[in-house]
Amino acid sequence: MKKILVANRGEIAIRVMKTAQKMGIKTVAVYSTVDRNAPHVKFADEAVWIGEAPSNQSYLLGSKIIEVAKNLNVDAIHPGYGFLSENADFAVECEKNGIVFIGPKSHAIKIMGSKLAAKEAVKAYNIPMVPGIDEAITDIEKAKQAATSIGFPILIKASAGGGGKGMRVVDSEADFESQMNRAISEAVAAFGDGSVFIEKYVGSPRHIEIQVMADSHGTILYLFERECSIQRRHQKVVEEAPSSVLTPELRKKMGEAAVLVAKSCDYLGAGTVEFLLDENNNFYFLEMNTRLQVEHPVTELITGTDLVELQIRVARGEALTITQEDLQIKGHALELRVYAEDPLNDFLPSVGHLDVYQLPVGDGIRVDNGFEQGMDIPIYYDPMLAKLITYGKTREEAIQLMIKAIENYQVEGVQTTLPFGKFVFEHEAFRSGKFDTHFVKKYYSPEILKEQAGKEAEIAALIALKQYFEDQKIVRLPN
Interacting residue with ligand MV4 among 76, 94, 100, 130 (CB under 6 A) = 130
| Nearer to ligand MV4 among residue 39 and residue 205 (C-beta) | 205
Using rule CB under 6 A, residue 61 touches ligand MV4: no
| Nearer to ligand MV4 among residue 86 and residue 274 (C-beta) | 274
Whose CA is closest to 113, among 80, 158, 162? Answer: 162
Using rule CB under 6 A, residue 393 touches ligand MV4: no
Of 36-44, 200-208, 249-257, 353-361, the window that binds ligand MV4 (rule: CB under 6 A) is 200-208
Using rule CB under 6 A, residue 207 touches ligand MV4: yes
Of 9-17, 202-210, 259-267, 299-307, the window that binds ligand MV4 (rule: CB under 6 A) is 202-210
Using rule CB under 6 A, residue 335 touches ligand MV4: no
Whose CA is closest to 261, among 86, 130, 106, 121? Answer: 121
Q: 361, 369 in Cβ contact below 8 A?
A: no
Binding mask 403-442 for ligand MV4 (x = CB under 6 A): ----------------------------------x-----
Using rule CB under 6 A, residue 151 touches ligand MV4: no
Handedness of CA 198, 199, 202, 208 (dihedral sign): negative
Using rule CB under 6 A, residue 150 touches ligand MV4: no
Interacting residue with ligand MV4 among 98, 164, 304, 352 (CB under 6 A) = 164
The CB-of-427 to ligand MV4 minimum distance in angstroms stands at 17
Active site residue: 168, 251, 291, 337, which one?
Answer: 291
Using rule CB under 6 A, residue 129 touches ligand MV4: no
Using rule CB under 6 A, residue 170 touches ligand MV4: no
d(CA 433, CA 415): 28
Of 201-209, 301-309, 368-376, 378-386, the window that binds ligand MV4 (rule: CB under 6 A) is 201-209
d(CA 254, CA 248): 10
Give the CA angle between residues 369, 274, 314 to the nearest 5°.
Answer: 65
The CB-of-128 to ligand MV4 minimum distance in angstroms stands at 12
Q: For residue 233, is it left (φ>0), alpha (ψ between -120 and 50) or beta?
A: left
Using rule CB under 6 A, residue 16 touches ligand MV4: no
Q: Before 349, cis peptide (omega within 30)?
A: no
| Nearer to ligand MV4 among residue 20 and residue 230 (C-beta) | 230
The CB-of-199 to ligand MV4 minimum distance in angstroms stands at 4
Whose CA is closest to 151, among 168, 135, 173, 167? Answer: 173
Using rule CB under 6 A, residue 353 touches ligand MV4: no
Q: 446, 344 in Cβ contact below 8 A?
A: yes
Q: Before 153, cis peptide (omega within 30)?
A: yes
Site for ligand MV4 in 225-244 (CB under 6 A): 231, 234
Whose CA is closest to 390, among 338, 317, 339? Answer: 338
d(CA 390, CA 374): 26
Interacting residue with ligand MV4 among 4, 202, 377, 401 (CB under 6 A) = 202
Whose CA is closest to 23, among 71, 61, 75, 88? Answer: 75
Using rule CB under 6 A, residue 295 touches ligand MV4: no
The CB-of-388 to ligand MV4 minimum distance in angstroms stands at 21
| Nearer to ligand MV4 among residue 207 and residue 251 (C-beta) | 207
| Nearer to ligand MV4 among residue 119 and residue 251 (C-beta) | 119
| Nearer to ligand MV4 among residue 69 and residue 212 (C-beta) | 212
Site for ligand MV4 in 435-474 (CB under 6 A): 437
The CB-of-138 to ligand MV4 minimum distance in angstroms stands at 21
| Nearer to ligand MV4 among residue 115 and residue 313 (C-beta) | 115
Confirm whether 291 is a catalytic residue: yes
Using rule CB under 6 A, residue 303 touches ligand MV4: no
Give the CA angle between residues 207, 128, 310 to the nearest 5°.
Answer: 60
Interacting residue with ligand MV4 among 287, 295, 300, 341 (CB under 6 A) = 287
Q: Can you say how many angstroms the Cα of residue 278 is from the centroid of all Cα atoms in its chain?
A: 21
Q: How many residues lie near ligand MV4 (CB under 6 A)?
A: 17
Using rule CB under 6 A, residue 341 touches ligand MV4: no
| Nearer to ligand MV4 among residue 107 and residue 200 (C-beta) | 200
Q: Can you say how many angstroms the Cα of residue 384 is from the centroid of all Cα atoms in its chain?
A: 11
Active site residues: 291
Residues that bind ligand MV4 (CB under 6 A): 130, 155, 163-164, 199-202, 205, 207, 231, 234, 274, 276, 286-287, 437
